[in-house]
Amino acid sequence: MLNLERLRTLDALARHGSVSGAADGLHVTTSAVSQQMAKLEREVGQPLLAKNGRGVRLTDAGRLLADHAARILSQVELAQADIEAQRGQVVGEVRIGAFPTAARGLFPAALTSLRTSHPELRVRSCELEPEQGIRQVVRGDLDLAVVLDWSNKRLPVPGGLAQAHLLDDVPDVAMHADHPLADRAEVDLEEFAEDDWVSWPEGEFCYEWLMFTLRSKGFEPRIAHMAVEHHTQLALIEAGMGVCVTPRLGRGWVPEGVRLVPVRQRMRRHIYAVWRTDADRRPSIRAAVDALRGAAETVERSEA
């Protein structure tokens, strides 16, 4: 009889590609992963791992069993979802991730609602970028992720994931109070072709969106500074270091020396939740989505 937890370890190794990655994904030590794999190899009577430089790789038998393990674990997920659905109670644990402004703008209200309405549900949350969130949901490291794309640049979402729209977020251009355009009612992005820009770090989805969007306006942006947090970006703007695009969700306090001006051709961030379709019947997933929708509705009312 194959042990389910050892199959879960093999599946994590196949998905993460390394012992350390599997250990991180399973929240165990690397020695625990190695011990589970050694026991699984004894159970099947064949080597499942082979040395590959300083790391390991799956043998042919390992890849074959890993394929079966993925299907078995998917069926277990479906069984758990069906049992939860039949019981109809929101219990157990749900793991949720979101990009930083969504975590700041939606999580406090959504998690408070879940704790109040479903006290037996344990919620674990974390911040991570949209692409990471989707990968972790696909791998099973997260149950649900709040992600985003833009009206002119979509985020690829693989098959096997369900989606729920939460809200559309309208960003503004942030500039120093002394900027020549600071008193305008609306601006066009091409009017900032000669300005320095403060941006998200290179490689992030929003950085790629910014470069794509500004280049489509006919100019090559001069990225002078990069910062992950919007509050850091606004502090740089207040210091006169350039201009930036800043979303409204989770914005919070704006420094006194910064002016926010809407863009004439409205840009929108589509913010939505994703989860695995094989977990769609879990009451805990539905409750989490409902709580996020409620938090999003509150944000939209406050901005109306």
DSSP secondary structure letter of residue 279: G
The model's pTM is 0.74
Distances (CA, A) of 138 to 143, 147, 154, 227: 9, 13, 18, 28
- pLDDT string in tens for the chain (304-residue length): 788 888 888 888 888 888 888 887 777 888 888 898 999 999 899 899 888 877 888 999 989 998 898 888 878 877 776 676 656 678 888 999 999 999 999 999 999 999 999 998 999 999 999 999 998 888 788 999 999 999 888 888 888 899 999 999 999 999 999 999 999 999 999 999 999 999 999 989 999 999 999 999 999 999 999 999 889 999 999 999 999 999 999 888 899 999 999 999 888 999 999 999 888 888 899 999 999 999 999 998 887 6
Is residue 91 within 8 A of residue 54, CB to CB? The reply is: no
Coil, strand or helix at 174: strand
Which 3-state string (H, E, C) describes 188-228?
Answer: CHHHHCCCEEEECCCCCHHHHHHHHHHHHCCCCCEEEEECC
Nearest Cα residue to 303 out of 234, 229, 250, 230: 250
Say which residue the tokens 């790789």 belong to. Answer: 57
